[in-house]
Chain A
Amino acid sequence: QKEVEQNSGPLSVPEGAIASLNCTYSDRVSQSFFWYRQYSGKSPELIMSIYSNGDKEDGRFTAQLNKASQYVSLLIRDSQPSDSATYLCAVIRTYKYIFGTGTRLKVLA
């Protein structure tokens, strides 16, 4: 079992719709969780971090964390073609950041 698992996609959504990206992790002691966006040929850039159970909203993005079920999700409201990218989920385990392989999102105009 991978430490951080994501569906590779592609996840295709129409412009204006809500995109829902999911991630599960195996280590219960993980404390901090992150979503990064990566455009093709570029390095990952931070979208959101979340540390507590529940929802955290930032603009069109909402991160959701459920430590009991060991999953973290990212919702993108009013999806735009510019949101088309690969989204990486990451967790920390004692200094080490463990990344999922990413979900490719395609927003169709």
Chain B
Amino acid sequence: DVKVTQSSRYLVKRTGEKVFLECVQDMDHENMFWYRQDPGLGLRLIYFSYDVKMKEKGDIPEGYSVSREKKERFSLILESASTNQTSMYLCASSLGDGWTSDSGNTIYFGEGSWLTVV
């Protein structure tokens, strides 16, 4: 089974702090993603990486950065946390590029990290 692990499940941080959210996957997947989920807004893509050397902005990258130093690890960084970044953050991984119709395209999620910024 694919395992996507988010090490921090519940965090409370102060405004202005630098926050690191760590994510590790154990299936040698090429692609990794960070989403945030807010009521009524659904899942919104922050950043994704389809190769260790490549990082791409998603739909809402402002205030965030990412690091992917190893294939299995993808970190989300909040440079200076703000209250509007209070949310549930979901890490995910997948194997395929979406252009071939096979099961490798399935995206698998971690359990989520609940971040509260006060």
Q: What is the interface of chain A, defined by CB distance below 8 A to chain B?
A: 31-32, 34, 42-46, 49, 51-52, 88, 90, 92-102
User: B-side interface residues toward A, CB under 8 Å?
Assistant: 31, 33, 35, 40-43, 45, 48, 50, 56, 58, 90, 92, 94, 96-103, 105-112
Chain B neighbourhood of A90, CB < 8 A: 107
A88 contacts B98, C-beta separation under 8 Å:
no
Question: Nearest chain-A residue to B40 (Cβ)?
Answer: A101
CA distance A96 to B97 in the complex (A): 8
| Contact sample, A vs B, 15 pairs, CB 8 Å cutoff | A32-B101, A42-B112, A43-B112, A44-B43, A45-B109, A46-B107, A90-B107, A92-B98, A94-B97, A95-B31, A95-B50, A95-B98, A96-B58, A99-B42, A101-B40
For the complex of A and B, the 3 pairs showing the least CB-CB separation, nearest first, are: A92-B98, A51-B101, A101-B42
- CB within 8 Å: A-B pair count: 65
Please state if A31 and B99 are interface contacts (CB–CB under 8 Å). Answer: yes
- With most chain B CB atoms within 10 A of its CB, the pick from A44, A46, A95, A101 is A95
**Chain A positions within 8 Å of B102 at CB level:** 51
Asked if B110 and A43 make an inter-chain contact with CB atoms under 8 angstroms apart, the answer reads yes
**How far is it, in angstroms, between the C-alpha of A9 and the C-alpha of B3 when the chains are bound?**
31
For A92, list chain B residues within 8 Å (CB): 98, 105
